[in-house]
Structure 1
């Protein structure tokens, strides 16, 4: 029987991010007082709220919002709807967001949150009511200059539109126009930005491309696998296929498929649109046991689903020469150690999937300034910024025998440390 990606445990994500942080902090000899501040979150919010279902019954839901650090600017981070969401997961993801925004030089801090819910069990109207009630409960804990949510696992532009509309109704009419940038990742008609839909996956692709260029390697005919074929996985695969690379395996929350001769990205995407966003029973590929997925013969592996998917249990069996982390925290510390010892490259999450938060910043700026940028302008800005950050991390990683994650953490933490040392600690 084929089991699910979502059944893999993701316990220990907070422990992983703390180990990554402390490792980098030790190397840069981080100021001990600043280490104390960055080791904990600023705010942790747990909300229980009732919502009436379509059948008239009341269900009580649990929502989370964790704000890790805002030394560099407003809190920024996604909201995910998933059964695995809890306070520990939100804390880990919020910390990763702090490092990510600092690494890419944005004037943001880090936050994360969501609902402990399986959205597939609810109707669209129920999800709308749940989202609006969650937004109302969050109240002024979010705001365009305070904490700016965005889409994440199982949330999308429609979710952001509901949040935006609900939040704006809590403000006086004269202030509503000033609050459009309370969320990013909105539909275009609601103030969204061109390119935001593809930005994270495009960033994953760019990082792979830049890495290959540094290795004097072309992507044509390279074989790749993708875990998670949602927004990030699809767009990464789309751009890789355009470069002549071949998709040979996909895993999602419902199962795994493989085809040694290649899987057509657009055909699979269209199939999913007609089959409840599931890859199950896709006719042009064979079903595969989920435990064999990472053992597929390929050159590039893109984990773009949940955390802790590559561990000590499977890292030794991976055949890819490059791991490009589309998800947050997909590789645990022990798994990465095995990969690096085997000479397998790892493009870390806070670099690899940072295209999404870069595009979110561009959307936030457009809303704030009353501007509208064309798609080619947004993508050109992404290209330039991603190359600049990649080069910095790659070069420092080479000094560390290919350890790009520690290099990325060092750059991010040092930027925050500078801010604290220059400003001082109140009072």
Structure 2
């Protein structure tokens, strides 16, 4: 293939912001120079007529955990997994690394740890915790894309949640410099009141994280937005019951956006076996009826984007308690599979692939101010992927590239797979640490 960054690629089926159709893209020095709505017979690369040319995925919710918990995941392994799954841009969460990204000094430590290890382009979230309130603008000025907070314990001691008063302080501060707050919204008191018996049964775990916990926390977030005007994003919505609150907030004109995850859209509680902590995440995977309502929320535009919340751990931590779901680490390793799973699910549902690209590439890039990413558009980086619906895939956790070979996606059968990926015009094979750090546009 032409290397590394100047060529033409032509496809009978390509996903652009306006739909799926023939396209020829000219790449010059890693940037998309021209886009023409026609095939070109003499293009350097001719995509097979049965395959689809896509923009590279933009996953704005990934836990890479380095430094401090690199045995869980790291920059090299996590970004290699992203590249293999057609994801060319990721934003790294401020936990579960040690230190958490809650100060300029911690951000500098992150940057140093990432140097020379990135297979894809990467940016950083900051964290909003009780200890750094009043100092968030310093971290914003260093280039983070926004600030993550929890409304209940995060699962790691060094990243503490915000109570209602602290949430108000954080949102007031962030609004003052026109920043963005992203929120893990579950209500601690509701979960404390729920039954939480030690058990291998998935139904027992599900009962311990009721939908009401999401609803109460979302209500708090919206009420605080109303008072502060802070631009706010709800992370990993799992309960479709929250969509009524979202719709009402938007009708008021509040600047609220929402994401969900492939595991909520493609997996359901009814099919999860007992004693299988690889499926544990918080908030949890709920029932099939809820899944259908989430899909409808996506199609109706109430859910803006789909991201993976890639959050792996060691086998010892994931299987703590011999399958006791109250003791196991809660997180799903999905950065390599999420784009494929959504392309597969959309194809099966008769949903146009341009919608998937909007949810998993263009939308995240626009919503989170990631520059020059998210579409086959002149001036954007030449981040490309080929989806082959003629190349079936059965996911094998042992073959995934994240650090610990554990995944809820093991055994998932997709009608197609990602076969080729380019980052800024460079064809990726998993061996090139050519990723750049990104800063807000």
TM over 0.5: no
Which structure carries more helix by proportion? 1
Structure possessing the higher relative contact order (Cα contacts under 8 Å, 6 or more residues apart): 2
- TM normalised by structure 1 equals 0.31
State the TM-score, normalized to the length of structure 2: 0.30
